Structure 1
Amino acid sequence: MYFLYTILAALSFYYVLKWMKRRRYFTELQRLDGKTALITGGNSGIGKETAIALARRGARVIIACRDSDKAVKAVRDIKLKSHSLNVLHMELDLANLRSVKDFCTRFLHSEKRLDILINSAGMPSVLDWTDNGFSMCFGVNHLGHFLLTNLLLHRLKECAPSRVVTLTCSIYKYQKLNFQDLNYNLLPFFTYCRSKLANIYFSQELARITEGKGVTSYAVHPGFVQSGWTCHYSFLFRMLMTVIMWMFFVPCEVGAQTVVYCAVSDEAAKHNGGYFVDCRPASLRPFARDAGVAKKLWEASERMVKLA
């Protein structure tokens, strides 16, 4: 009898975990032939799965990442899984503003189209600094993508209708921005929360300033995903998180569904500046919908990256 109870308890636990990880799949197969998609951090995790999905739909896919060796392997894998040869990589280090500017110069010179920009690359909560003296989380997750998007914005307008999808996280709700110390880097987890809140404000303000110009913007929480972000931490922490992620987090392919939805779906296009979870619009905390704060952050970010 004890054995039976153990089996029932194990099965119950398994199905509870499965229920907790249930997600919608985006199954619409709109073609993207003739369109170009740029994905930061496309060599792994959600970015890579997004690249596969867009390449499979016929898009020309460019993954932008720092590690060239990993990028070469990722391009090979994306081509194999998407059955598309129209995939390539370009070097980009979001922790270095000079690298961002050089990348944009090379991209604009070599690529005539940009229809979809996926700001997917991200840095977890680590106590570190960028080459320009910004906290690593805020510098990579927000400022690097802020500068990249602005320098490519004219090309996005030329190729309208075009879309910008920026990955954020639901933990934005645990912090508010402090404009006296945007570069806060004392408690890494709170720094990460602030960077994800900044992603939301950025997406909203981008939608406002490009209203009527053919560029739409979306912030996406992909869910908690079994990605490789733990590589920045100790061996023991990685082992612990491997177990936790297996139990509660979703695979990268599942996490990419909402990103692809916002990049492709006609329905998503109706919610410019929206926040999306599980392939549908979701509500935000009131403080995360403050247009005044979004505009103030945009202006502060322009000064921080010295954007004329």
Structure 2
Amino acid sequence: MAWTDFFSHPLWAFSTLVFGLVLRSQRRGPWNPRACPVELKGKTAIVTGANTGIGKFTALDFARRGARVILACRNEARGSAALQEIRRLSGNQDVHLCLLDTSSLASVRAFAEGILRQEKQLHILVNNAGATGLSRQITPDGLEISFATNHLGPFLLTNLLLDLMKSSAPARIVNVSSFTHWRGEVNFAHFRGDNLTYTMDSIYNHTKLHNIICTNELARRLQGTGVTANSLHPGVVMTEVMRNYSWLVRFVFNMVGIFFLKSAEEGAVTTIYCAVSEDVEGITGKYFDSDCSLVLPAPLARDPALAAKDFDICERLTAKL
């Protein structure tokens, strides 16, 4: 059987189910980061969007485990505040801030060049930075801003750091997606801002679908390197993700959130699980739900031919810019 037949084969769904059952059987109750004994001393981790929300709590967890943590943030003032807070709460001074705007490929390249120049190893890369509710805008690279921020920027960053991660193996790439990818569509004209309908979170949904598709293809290409790549849905979380919507939408979201949504600390659990848990060691090309369960993503995310095409197009597009 050719590899391109694997994701569409019943064996793929069956193996995912088996993996999920095995992982669940290894856990007694909800997975708790505080109860996980894994240490990260001597390890280096990068977390994008680490100045707030899920990213900040993920970085804090890594710092508490003794890792060298690099906070990749767009805003220097907010990043510096997060840096000081994480150092204080963790007692780990080996936490550092580097500026990164994933909507700008120039910023991504500059950030990656700095990492490759300064760091001798990289064991964990968490692509967490993202935005929803952005109005139509084309970046200086000619990309639609949501696609640049949520997908193409993180895609380029990951590829630029791959050699460093391979030389540091075992290493893990964790891409934060969303269950809303089920409502996403694949149209490669979207990358340039064409054929898009700006309704609520529709653009965000498309980008989150591409996250999973390319994560699965990346995992296939990394087989045998010791670097794994997985994606996840963190849950519906009370973060600043709604900051680009109207005040009325934010008000309703916050009111609902008080009673029904996860806190940012709770929302970071699956990200931390994928990055550090021994349960996930060696598992790659999978998608995890908000309770750390291994689940099947949408059918489009399991199409191997589409995954190969998507990855190739993203490679060519980011290489030219």
Partner Cα distance (1:128, 1:60) in 2: 37
Hey, what does 2:301 align to over in structure 1?
288
Residues in 2 aligned to 1:140 and 1:158: alpha-carbon distance in whole angstroms: 27
Alignment partner of 1:97 is 2:105: yes
Q: What are the equivalent positions in structure 2 for 1:10-25 lying under 5 Å apart?
A: 24-25=31-32
Which residue of 2 is the match for residue 4 of structure 1?
none
Cα deviation digits, residues 56-106 of structure 1 (max 9, x gap): 001000010110000110001111122211111001111110111111111
Q: Mapping of 1:79-98 within 5 angstroms?
A: 79-98=87-106
**Contact 2:54–2:264 (8 Å) recurs in 1:** yes
Give the alignment partner of residue 292 of structure 2, picking from 279, 292, 304. Answer: 279
Letter in 1 for 2:233: H
Q: Distance in 2 between matches of 1:52 and 1:108?
A: 23
2:136–2:144: 8 Å Cα contact kept in structure 1? yes
How many residues matched?
Answer: 287
Deviation at 1:128?
Answer: 3.1
Residue 251 (structure 2) pairs with residue 239 (structure 1): yes
Distance 1:307 1:205, change over 3 A: farther
Alpha-carbon deviations, 1:91-123, whole Å to 9, x = none?
111111011111111111111111000000001
CA apart distance, 1:168: 0.2
Checking the alignment, whether the CA contact within 8 Å between 1:123 and 1:136 is kept in structure 2 is no
* Matches of 1:176 and 1:255, distance apart in 2: 25
Stretch moving more, 123-132 or 203-212? 123-132
Residue 270 of structure 2 aligns with which residue?
Answer: 258
Corresponding residue to 2:39 among 1, 12, 31: 31
How much has 1:23 moved relative to structure 2? 5.8
> Any idea what the Cα deviations from partners look like across 1:203-249, whole Å, max 9, x if unmatched?
10110111001110010110011001222223232222110221221
SS for the counterpart of 1:187 is coil
Question: Paired residue for 1:6?
Answer: none
Instruction: Give CA deviations for 1:37-57 in whole Å, capped at 9, x if unaligned.
Output: 001001111000000101100
Q: Do the aligned partners of residues 72 and 181 (structure 1) sit closer, same or farther apart at CA in structure 2, a change above 3 Å counting?
A: closer
Structure 1 residue 136 displacement after superposition: 1.9
Give the Cα separation in 2 of the matches to 1:210 and 1:223: 27
Q: 1:168 maps to what in 2?
A: 177
Q: CA deviation at 1:24?
A: 4.2
Inter-partner Cα distance in structure 2 for 1:275 and 1:60: 26
| Structure 1 stretch displaced more, 200-209 or 280-289 | 280-289
CA distance in 2, matches of 1:190, 1:70: 28
Counterpart in 2 of 1:186?
197
Normalising by structure 1, we get a TM-score of: 0.89
**Partner in structure 2 of residue 209 of structure 1:** 221
CA RMSD of aligned residues (A): 1.7
Structure 2: distance between partners of 1:102 and 1:299: 23
Contact 2:42 2:66 in 1 (8 A): yes
Query: How is 1:60-209 mapped onto 2 (pairs within 5 angstroms)?
Result: 60-129=68-137, 130-184=139-193, 185-188=196-199, 189-209=201-221
Structure 1 window deviating more from structure 2 (120-129 vs 51-60): it is 120-129
User: d(CA) in 2 for partners of 1:242 and 1:179?
Assistant: 34
Alignment check: 8 A CA contact 2:181 2:298 kept: no
Q: TM-score, normalised by structure 2?
A: 0.86
Percent identical: 38
For residues 37 and 212 of structure 2, what CA distance do their matches in structure 1 show? 28
Whole-angstrom distance in 1 between the partners of 2:104 and 2:202: 22
Q: Determine the structure 2 residue equivalent to 1:40.
A: 48
What is the aligned partner in structure 2 of residue 297 from structure 1? 310
Give the unaligned 5+ runs of structure 1. 1-21
The 2-side partners of 1:240 and 1:209 are apart by 43
How many angstroms apart in 2 are the aligned matches of 1:126 and 1:171? 16
- CA positional deviation for 1:291: 1.2
